[in-house]
Structure 1
Amino acid sequence: MTPPQRKRRQTRAEHPPPLPPAPQAPEGGGEDDDNRNPERLYVISGADGARAELDLVTLIVARADPPPSVTPEQAVLLRLTLAPLSVAELSAYLDLPFSAMTALITELITAELVQARAPIVRQALPDRSLLEAVMHGLQKL
């Protein structure tokens, strides 16, 4: 049997300082609240309609500068895609789900502001002549 432990009394000077109150989000909602808000995603993606066949690895490239008539999300997407980026990267940069990204990109494809490309696929098997040249070079050593 273990003896009971004595609790040490603390004087008033030894009490830890009170914790500051946790920061509260403003009444309008913070950035985190907007990302979880399904109404915001509906406004961005619009009504369900025909969507382009896009994969996570499909590369998106801008064809033109953003015109003044596009939404802020589409303008950012057009600025990001001056160099080819995959749909997964765009989704991460804009902090939007894949479904909302496909809707945004579909609208831009139909407006001919972006181009969707299949990713560059490397050959599954290397060129036989290259392998033979390497093998002959190693044999000569």
Structure 2
Amino acid sequence: MRRPGRDDAPDRLYTLTGGRSRSGHGSPFDLVTLVVAESEPVPGMQSELVTILRLAERPVAVVELAAELRLPVSITRVLLTDLLDQGRVSARHPRTATPAGLLDPNLLEQVLVGLRNL
């Protein structure tokens, strides 16, 4: 069943990704991976790639990009992998963006004990 306002036709998705349906093994992109543009779009670039670079001027999650593009996450991941391979975006998982000492298990245990004592 087709959804209003969406062009999910298989031939369009096939064209967007050059026939690829997966981003490959070891892809750094999951739903919450933060993507940041590392360059400006260039003339002649595919419109979806231009949109990704514009949206990723500030860190944005893969799932948000897919929603804005109105594309399946799997297709968005393929496009992001292309941009990553070209050095046009960087990717990092939110956990790697957290300072090392912020989630110290001992500190969390002490907080839990303190809450139980209340």
TM-score, with normalisation over the residues of structure 2? 0.73
Q: State the partner residue of 1:47.
A: 19
Where is the helix percentage greater, Structure 1 or Structure 2? 2
| 2:77 pairs with 1:102 | yes
For residue 126 of structure 1, report the CA deviation from its aligned partner.
6.5
**Secondary structure of 2:7 counterpart:** helix
CA RMSD in angstroms comes to: 3.1
Q: Which moved more, 1:42-51 or 1:92-101?
A: 42-51
Which amino acid in structure 1 is aligned with residue 107 of structure 2?
Answer: D
Q: State the partner residue of 1:72.
A: 47
Looking at structure 1, the residues matched to 23 and 40 of structure 2 have their Cα atoms a distance apart, in angstroms, of 25
Residues 58, 116 of structure 1: 8 Å contact kept:
yes
Q: State the partner residue of 1:35.
A: 7
CA-to-partner distance for each residue in 1:20-78, whole Å, 9 max, x for gaps? Answer: xxxxxxxxxxx73x523111111112222753231101110000111113200000100
Looking at structure 2, the residues matched to 77 and 53 of structure 1 have their Cα atoms a distance apart, in angstroms, of 16
**Secondary structure of 1:64 counterpart:** coil
Find the structure with the greater CA-based Rg.
1
Residues 58, 87 of structure 1: 8 Å contact kept:
yes
Looking at structure 1, the residues matched to 55 and 46 of structure 2 have their Cα atoms a distance apart, in angstroms, of 14
Looking at structure 2, the residues matched to 67 and 127 of structure 1 have their Cα atoms a distance apart, in angstroms, of 48
| Residue correspondence of structure 1 range 1-141 to structure 2 within 5 A | 32=5, 35-48=7-20, 51=24, 52-120=27-95, 123=103, 125=105, 127=107, 131=111
For residue 81 of structure 1, report the CA deviation from its aligned partner.
0.1
- Tell me: CA distance 1:124–1:69, structure 2 relative to 1, closer, same or farther (3 Å): farther
**5+ residue gaps in structure 1?**
1-30, 136-141
**Larger RCO of the pair (alpha carbons < 8 Å, separation 6+):** 2
Which runs of structure 1 show a deviation greater than 3 angstroms over 4 or more consecutive aligned residues?
none
CA-to-partner distance for each residue in 1:83-111, whole Å, 9 max, x for gaps? Answer: 00010010011110011101100110011
Looking at structure 1, the residues matched to 44 and 81 of structure 2 have their Cα atoms a distance apart, in angstroms, of 16
